[in-house]
Amino acid sequence: MKEIMTGNEAIARGAWEGGCHVASAYPGTPSSEILENISRYDEIDSEWSTNEKVAVEVAGGASLGGARALSAMKHVGLNVAADPIFTMSYIGVNGGFVVITADDPGFFSSQNEQDNRWYAPHAKLPMLEPSDSQECLDFIKDAFELSERFDVPFLFRVTTRICHSKTVVETGTRAEAPIKPYQRDPQKCVMQPSAAKLRRYLMEDREKALRGFSNDCKYNRVEWGSGRGIGIIASGVSYQHAREAFEDIGGEVSFLKLGFTYPLPDELIKRFASEIEAIYVVEENEPYIENFVKQLGIKCKGRELLPAVGELDAGIVRKSLRGNEPAQGHSVDATPPPRPPVLCPGCSHRGICFVLSKYKDIAVSGDIGCYTLGVMPPLGVIDSVICMGAGVSAGIGFGKAFSRGATPPSGKKINKVFGMIGDSTFFHSGITGLIDAVVNKSPIALCIVDNRITAMTGHQENPGTGRTIKGEPTSQIDLASLCVACGVKPGNVRKVDPYDLKETEQAVREAYDSEEIFVIITTQPCALIKDVQRRRAGVHCAVDRDLCVKCRACMKVGFPALSFGGDGAEIERSMCNGCAICAQVCPKHAISQAGEFND
Amino acid sequence: MTKGILLVGVGGQGTILASKVLSEGLMRAGYDVKMSEIHGMSQRGGSVTTHVKYGDRVYSPIISQGEADILASFEKVEAVRWLSYLKPGGTLIVNDYEIRPLSVLTGAAEYPGDVMGKLSSAVRNTLAIDACGIALGLGNAKAQNIVLLGALVKCMKLDGIDWHAVLRDVIPPKLRALNSKAFDMGAGQSVK
């Protein structure tokens, strides 16, 4: 049947058709919908794992046990999962095993732009790179069988424009794969040094076999044009951009379209190049293919013409390779104001960010999640964001530097370090940082902003929500007890309602004054959760015109629903959920909560 | 020949849903279709774009600068932001609707004046629509996106597709009647 699907939907469909039994992931844009879609297939045992390392180990174990398995993650997630992946490459598989990495050229939703194709040669994992949704489906369907044939996990590399583009797909049926027999085999599966060394030699033979396969497989193909003047080598979405960039003279140009990109097909590339006058390699981010082509002694151009940063499109390729400037048709004499993403109206993170913003002698070590947006004006509270979990551990380090006298140029001493981390992120990799802080006596004040969901990536369940990926009730991990179990004194753990500024301020003050490690857990759920929206649908805030003195105190909190007109503060009723933080900052009590909760 | 439609707006305005209906209809009409959206962090009230391309054979899923046949802007200043993507002679469909970003609310930036006037003088083929007013008239401001979709489909001269059937299949049942009306009202707008 013909359907229009995103790459992520097609990957899920292809995994199902390919007989996948077990699937695991930690959500991360642009990969999150892969598992969301897989979880709808009853034949596949799917789970949101605590983090990407856990996900790969769960799927890896399932593979060794005989099941076909996959793990999906965003590019930076593969860093977290790198440890099991490198050694799973030595062990190989029993049931087919595929690891999906979703890279983000153009930084649409990520803290960096790393090109995970380099992981393939580094970990010696064969790699498939689809260039549209049909290939997502077809390639992953084949990947399980290929993984079994070559006894190696496969890396499956996609990018934002593959994951989140819908293209037309012909679907098929599920090929039921029996669970493979399990035979205990310590020489293969117990990676102590002597066994690992033997496997390492076998990997060299495997690489040769894979290189041979790469030279003669359907995933790598030459599309000859009528001429031999220009030849393009490309993979993934870059192939599509390159095709379009030369569409007007498409008949003349020849393409080497690569879908199996580790090991790269040396003989095929040499044959292609021997017939072509000028070779161009079109790829986003790193010169991964280009370096290989040059190592073969073949002259080609790529990075010297194409931008090193950001995603490509057909216009950029046309301009870079052919010198054609984009058409300029229209201009208008107006400057659009910046419109970056902001904390939503009614966001549960706003209260704690606002309270922290009033302390001018603190540093806040932030983390990955919606609360990263606390860095935006007017709140402006976050000092650093590195990666999942660093909100806790980088905060420990900040504290060490400041306690040795590090001061900002203002000369005003930083007296306290706060960490800020979300619920899902804390479960992912904040716990280890907290234990580190307790054991090494680092008096960090940690704010766990618990909004009862993994919000930024689109509301996935996590260990604190009490639901599995399939929505079934399950054990709920209690954050306060967990912190106490990590060694935080019970008296130093505070749960606060971040919509209640007084309560939040009191807890922040206590944490600021404490010389011991202190944890504040905020308890308001994400304002976008359906049940929360339903409960608060009838609640909003209203301004009393007679009392408003136009002092703009409410504007310091940064509400998208609040604006300032000639008559003072105005609240956009359709956006306001009645969190009433603005009412609490108004010195004249001109704003009040109105309406009723649907309880 | 491949056609490109760039839909732009503010996170939460329903550009993605409108694009889904559009690409589903185009596929049913037998075109090759690609649609590319960006979501994730930018959906939190940020500027959003969706690319829809169709034709006999579509390669790249995204529209390059100066190559959109139609720019459909769900918010007026977003039309200014993305105008360089509209090709010479292309059509601008713009919702006469203002969403002030936080930078304007806090006074750090200004929302430019007379945006609609400036856009109409810059682009000869401009269709300005009060989609919000129309949707409010139907009882739900959120149907703005489908009003705009109706106008867009009319501009593209894609009348041969049973759009109401596509709407029925893509949109949740309780909103179907509303969106069906919204679509017709939008389609009526572009006939001058």
Chain B positions touching A76 (Cβ under 8 A) are none
Q: With contact defined as beta carbons under 8 Å apart, do B145 and B181 qualify? A: no
Chain B positions touching A327 (Cβ under 8 A) are 65-67, 87-88
Q: How far is B74 from chain A (nearest CA, A)?
A: 14
Q: Which of A2, A335, A458 sits opposite B112 (nearest CB)?
A: A335
The residue written with tokens 């939907």 in the block is A9
Give the DSSP letter of residue A473.
B
Chain B's closest residue to A236, CA to CA, is B60
Q: How far is B182 from chain A (nearest CA, A)?
A: 20
Q: How far is B38 from chain A (nearest CA, A)?
A: 7
pLDDT confidence band for A185 (50 / 70 / 90)? very high
In this predicted structure, the answer to whether residue A329 has a pLDDT above a threshold of 80 is: no
Q: How far is A177 from chain B (nearest CA, A)?
A: 32
Inter-chain residue contact A340 with B141, CB threshold 8 Å:
no
Inter-chain residue contact B86 with A344, CB threshold 8 Å:
no
Name the burial class of residue B30, with classes exposed (0-12), middle (13-18) and buried (19+) by CB atoms within 10 angstroms of its CB.
exposed
Inter-chain residue contact B100 with A563, CB threshold 8 Å:
yes
pLDDT confidence band for A81 (50 / 70 / 90)? very high
CATH architecture of A535-595: 2-Layer Sandwich (3.30)
Q: Residue B42's pLDDT is what?
A: 56
CATH of domain A220-322: 3.40.50.920
Per-residue pLDDT reduced to its tens digit, B97-122: 999 998 898 888 999 999 999 999 99
DSSP string, A37-81: HHTT-TTSEEEE-SSHHHHHHHHHHHHHHT--EEEEEEHHHHHHT
Element (H, E) at A476: none
In this predicted structure, the answer to whether residue A195 has a pLDDT above a threshold of 50 is: yes
Q: Residue B187's pLDDT is what?
A: 93
Inter-chain residue contact A109 with B11, CB threshold 8 Å:
no
Average pLDDT over residues A442-450: 98
Domain definitions of chain B by residue range:
3-187
- Given this chain, do its domains A350-528 and A535-595 carry the same CATH topology? no
Inter-chain residue contact B23 with A166, CB threshold 8 Å:
yes
Inter-chain residue contact A326 with B119, CB threshold 8 Å:
no
In this predicted structure, the answer to whether residue B25 has a pLDDT above a threshold of 60 is: yes
- Indicate which of A232, A321, A339, A460 best probes the interface with B, i.e. most B CBs within 10 Å of its own CB: A339
pLDDT confidence band for B192 (50 / 70 / 90)? very low
Domain definitions of chain A by residue range:
2-215, 220-322, 350-528, 535-595
Instruction: Choose among A522, A586, A543, A243: nearest CA to A374.
Output: A522
- A-B contacts (CB, under 8 Å): 188
Per-residue pLDDT reduced to its tens digit, A519-531: 999 999 999 999 9
Helix (H, G, I), strand (E, B) or coil at B77: helix
Q: Angle, nearest 10°, between helix axes A133-150 and A7-17? A: 40
Per-residue pLDDT reduced to its tens digit, A390-403: 999 999 999 999 99
Positive or negative, the CA dihedral B120, B125, B131, B134 is positive
Is the domain A2-215 a CATH 2.30.110.10 member? no
Average pLDDT over residues A84-101: 98
Q: What share of chain A is helix, strand, coil (3-state, %, to 5)?
A: 40, 20, 45
Chain B's closest residue to A4, CA to CA, is B24
pLDDT confidence band for A3 (50 / 70 / 90)? very high
Is the domain A350-528 a CATH 3.40.50.970 member? yes
Q: Which of A29, A165, A563 sits opposite B34 (nearest CB)?
A: A165
The residue written with tokens 């913003």 in the block is A357
Q: Which of B59, B77, B103 sits opposite A247 (nearest CB)?
A: B59
Chain A's closest residue to B80, CA to CA, is A336
In this predicted structure, the answer to whether residue B190 has a pLDDT above a threshold of 80 is: no
In this predicted structure, the answer to whether residue B191 has a pLDDT above a threshold of 50 is: no
In this predicted structure, the answer to whether residue B43 has a pLDDT above a threshold of 80 is: no
Per-residue pLDDT reduced to its tens digit, A276-321: 999 999 999 999 999 999 999 999 999 999 999 999 999 999 999 9
Q: Which of A160, A458, A560 sits opposite B105 (nearest CB)?
A: A560
Inter-chain residue contact B81 with A339, CB threshold 8 Å:
yes
pLDDT confidence band for A411 (50 / 70 / 90)? confident
Chain B's closest residue to A554, CA to CA, is B106
Chain B's closest residue to A379, CA to CA, is B106
Per-residue pLDDT reduced to its tens digit, A135-168: 999 999 999 999 999 999 999 999 999 999 999 9
Inter-chain residue contact A329 with B89, CB threshold 8 Å:
yes
Q: Which of A244, A334, A340 sits opposite B59 (nearest CB)?
A: A244
Inter-chain residue contact B40 with A30, CB threshold 8 Å:
yes
CATH architecture of B3-187: 3-Layer(aba) Sandwich (3.40)
Distance CA A288, CA A301 (A): 13
Instruction: Average the pLDDT over each of A401-405, A422-426, A449-453, B55-59 and give the range with the smallest value.
Output: A401-405
Chain A positions touching B36 (Cβ under 8 A) are 161, 164-166
ipTM given for this complex: 0.95
pLDDT confidence band for A356 (50 / 70 / 90)? very high
In this predicted structure, the answer to whether residue A432 has a pLDDT above a threshold of 50 is: yes
Beta pairing partners, A565: A568
Q: Which of B63, B104, B118 sits opposite A337 (nearest CB)?
A: B104
Query: CB atoms < 10 A from the CB of A295, how many?
Result: 10
Q: Residue B41's pLDDT is what?
A: 60
Instruction: Choose among A448, A456, A81, A534: nearest CA to B39.
Output: A456
Q: How far is A504 from chain B (nearest CA, A)?
A: 24
Chain A positions touching B44 (Cβ under 8 A) are 341-344, 370, 373
**What pTM does this model have?**
0.96
- Indicate which of B20, B32, B60 best probes the interface with A, i.e. most A CBs within 10 Å of its own CB: B60
Q: How far is A29 from chain B (nearest CA, A)?
A: 6
Distance CA A221, CA A219 (A): 6
- Indicate which of A8, A332, A459 best probes the interface with B, i.e. most B CBs within 10 Å of its own CB: A332
Q: Which of A160, A315, A564 sits opposite B65 (nearest CB)?
A: A315
